[in-house]
Amino acid sequence: MTAIADESEARAYVASLCDGIAMDRLAKLSDLLIAENASQNLVARATIPIVWQRHIADSAQLLELVTATQAPWLDLGSGAGFPGLVIAAMRPNLEVILVESRKRRVDWLERAREGLALENCRVAGCRLEEVERFDAGTISARAFAPLDRLLALAGRFSTKTTDWVLPKGRSAAQEVHGLPKNRRKMFHVEQSRTDPDAGVVVGRGQWSAKP
């Protein structure tokens, strides 16, 4: 798989996965993010010139890694809104729930959600442990927690048909290998389209605290 090399390729890739209305929403999200980043460090400043490649396309690729866009889509530690806001913008008929406990990030997510008119999206402004349990169709997380910790916290939302899509950077394979041997087969690693050295942990099924 050839990695997306620049902003032009990133925009073209994302456009292949959604319609023009969604692309307009994502362009507005980019503008909102750049403006907000001047007052709080949502993303590394060095990534602002490549926001489509580093953040938007990086999020959008998850749609190709699930068996179907199953609702509700639960995004853990949404922070700057990746991948959750991108998924919600690209799939307006898909229920997306963003979990974020940091107040300034919660406020940002709410403003962005309202600014993009994402009626399919809601923000749970609390710790994941405080979110009332429900059956998640898809679970995503970007820079939320080490894989074993993430699974321990999010497993109660999973069912036999839940899709997991977890961008893990260069540590993806190592984190999967660190799971109990008899359970790691539930997951595999896909190469990221936006970084040749990064991986996305992909899985399907229910993760429980007990083997």
Q: What is the DSSP letter of 170?
A: T
This prediction has a pTM of 0.96
pLDDT tens by residue, the chain, 211 residues: 678 999 999 999 999 999 999 999 999 999 999 999 999 999 999 999 999 999 999 999 999 999 788 889 999 999 999 999 999 999 999 999 999 999 999 999 999 999 999 999 999 999 999 999 999 999 999 989 999 999 999 999 999 999 999 999 999 999 999 999 988 999 999 999 999 999 999 999 999 877 6
CA torsion through residues 79, 22, 161, 1, sign: negative
Residue among 17, 24, 22 at smallest CA distance from 62: 17
